[in-house]
Every structure is written in structure tokens, then in C-alpha cells.
Structure 1
């Protein structure tokens, strides 16, 4: 009998051949771990390849250089944050809930065990124009999404709505980062609640232009200021 040829064996320490998309996913995961642990400047392509279980040539087939790899991660995680904010706004017509879910999106983002938020909100490569542009674009996209909701609901000008949206996004981002840096000494739910109430007490002063009502109900004009009852004659 002729013995069947032995199945090809992977080289020790190397991962088996994967479809290109799966390999890219694997490389990005390994790179994220290294960048989060060491920062951009101290991270080495050798370590990323080793952690992914591939040779450096394989790594370079997917990403020509370290910056390309870093930018791919920044793109991935900025898109994740923007999508979370947009989903929060689209999930309800209750503006208090919209504010709560938008703030929560930032807390969920920084609280991800992977530490990926560091690549977006605390990058040591913000001086690199390509990184800075991506981070600023993600901030602007979140602002535009919130501002669009404010314009529709309140009738404020675009500039006024943009200003309020910048304040809300800045508060959510700064608050979430501070919370994490302080070691989450305040329970997450309580921290979200506090920031939401701070934001809501301000933004609720802008009444809806056309209040939502039950089907067939005639909208009633509202005002945040109570009208004093007339004194009896």
C-alpha cells in the first residue's frame, strides 16, 4: 500500500492560513493590544506579528507600515463611537432618554475592557495630522447628529444647536474619561445619571417646537416658564 501524503503542518508558533478578512481582523486585534499596552511610539511591528502568530511579511502584506495599522484601528473605533451615538438618538423620541443614551454611549466606549478608547480619546499620536483629523471628524459627526435633533425639536438656528451639541458631547466625553481615570469610584449608573441630569436641566429649557402627542391630538404650544395666575379684581 502507498501511504497517503501527510497533511501540511503549520510552522510552530504560526497560525494556519485564513481568509483575508479574517486575517485582517486577527491582526487588528493583536495590534490593538500592543498599542494600548505600549502606546504608538513604543509599539513594535515585530511584537504585533508575534502576538498575531504571523511572520512580519504577512503583517506587511495587510498593512504597509505601523501608521497604516494604527489608522485602521482609529477608523474602526471612531466609527463604533459615532454609530453608538447615532443609534442612541434614533432609538426613541423621548429627548431625556436620548440624552441619557448618548451620554451612556461614551461611558460604554471608555469602559470597554480592550482599552480601545485610548486610541481615540487619549492617543499619544494626536500630533500626527491623519490621526488628529480622524479624531476631530468623529467629534464633529457626533455634534452634527445631536445638533440635527435639536434643530428639529426646538427650531433653534443651526449655530445655536451646534453650540449646545458641542457642550453635550464635550461633557459626555470629558466626564466619561474622568470617571475612568479616577478608577470608577462612582458606580457607572450613578455617574451617567448625574451627567444626564446636569445636561437635561439645561437643555430642557428649550421647548419643543411641535410637541409630540397622541394620535389625533392637537399639539399644544409649551413654554418652560410658568405663567403666574392673574390677581383677582
Structure 2
């Protein structure tokens, strides 16, 4: 039996139109949540900014929180992928250089856009138990990665054995608190300076060696 091809509007299939709406909603959420704050933005405003009807919004998401989780997931996936690429590219380097490069790969895309930093370090905190669980799940992924890299450095004789889980949690907490504070200051210092300071802290924590901050 011959099937009728799906109708196309404006040269796009239904799937392509849905994907386009998703990308526009993500872009609107990044701009509005990252500028005005998650709690201050309504679904109507998101839809108006994204040029998406509320009917199509609810075809994509059941509520505003789902959009926040989708956006946060995209931000963290990009950060994790950047760290993975960095570690792959520096596989033969000294642990200190690998760690410095990996932390920069994690921080740079987030700090480059204050809206992204605000969502990842400010707006995501305390929204709901479900959102908090996703934040903790991402933290656990990063902590496990740091533990693994620390263990590899010990096996290669680059550093002495340490409690890498404790240190990874301490580093994660420090990054969250410092970036949160940096974001909320009316007059922020440079993102590059903050990146340098946090990388120096990471090397100090993971190796026990003094580093200028």
C-alpha cells in the first residue's frame, strides 16, 4: 500500500519544525532566565520571545521547569564534552597541565556568557527537589571523572595518593560558591582572572602543591 508523504510547510517537515521550536525555546530561556531570573519569567513571555504558541510549548514541555532542566542539561552536556575533549588531547601531558586544561575547558564556555553562568550556578539552585537532583547527578559525574584522573596520575607516579573524592567535592563546592558570588556582584572582575584563580586552586587541591591565586 502506497503511503502519503508527510506534509511540509515552508520546506520543513513536522519534525524539523518541532526541532526549530525547541531551539527557539532554549534560546529564549537562556536569554530570559539568564537575564531576569527563572522565577520572574512566565511561559507566555517565553513563548512570545521564541515566537512559539503556548500549544506548541506544551507539546515540547509539560511545564516551565522542564524547559529549565532541558537547558541545564544542554549546558552541562556541552561542559562535560569539552572536558572530555581536553583530556583526550592532553593524554600524554603531566597531570598538572591536564588538570589545568580540563578545568579551563569546563569553565570557559560557561563564564564566556554571563547568562549561561547565571543559569548554571545561580538559577538552578533551590528550584525543586527534581531540579536539585539533576544538579547533584551532574556533580557526581564530574566528581567521578576527577577521581579517575587522580587515580591515573598516582599510577603514573605523578602525584602521591590522596582522597580524591573529598578533594573533588571540595573543588566542586568552591567553584559553585565562587562563581555564584562572582555572578551576583554588581561589578564583576574579568572572567579570565576568575578562570586563572580557579585553575590554580584546582592544581593546589589535587596535588597539595602551593599555587599562586
| Bucket of the pairwise TM-score, normalised by the shorter protein | 0.7 to 0.9
Q: Please state whether the residue corresponding to 1:143 is helix, strand or coil.
A: helix
Name stretches of at least 5 consecutive residues in structure 1 with no aligned partner: 1-8, 11-16, 207-233
Q: CA deviation at 1:117?
A: 2.5
User: Aligned runs of 1:1-233 on 2, under 5 Å?
Assistant: 19-92=17-90, 93-113=93-113, 115-123=115-123, 126-155=126-155, 160-182=163-185, 183-185=187-189, 187-201=190-204, 203-204=206-207
Q: CA deviation at 1:24?
A: 0.9
Number of equivalences: 190
Aligned-partner Cα distance in 1 for 2:196–2:33: 32
Larger radius of gyration, structure 1 or 2? 1
Aligned-partner Cα distance in 2 for 1:195–1:148: 20
**TM-score of the pair, normalised by structure 1:** 0.68
Name stretches of at least 5 consecutive residues in structure 2 with no aligned partner: 1-8
Q: Which segment drifts farther, 145-154 or 53-62?
A: 53-62
Q: Which segment drifts farther, 85-94 or 26-35?
A: 85-94
Aligned-partner Cα distance in 1 for 2:170–2:208: 15
Q: Which segment drifts farther, 84-93 or 52-61?
A: 84-93
Aligned-partner Cα distance in 2 for 1:125–1:199: 23
Give the structure 2 partner of residue 5 of structure 1: none
Asked if the contact 2:164–2:206 (Cα under 8 Å) also holds between the matched residues in 1, the reply is no
**TM-score of the pair, normalised by structure 2:** 0.74
Distance change (3 Å), C-alpha of 1:122 and 1:188: closer
Per-residue Cα deviation, 1:190-220 (whole angstroms, up to 9, x for no partner): 44334433443453459xxxxxxxxxxxxxx
Asked if the contact 2:150–2:206 (Cα under 8 Å) also holds between the matched residues in 1, the reply is no
Distance change (3 Å), C-alpha of 1:177 and 1:89: farther
Give the structure 2 partner of residue 230 of structure 1: none
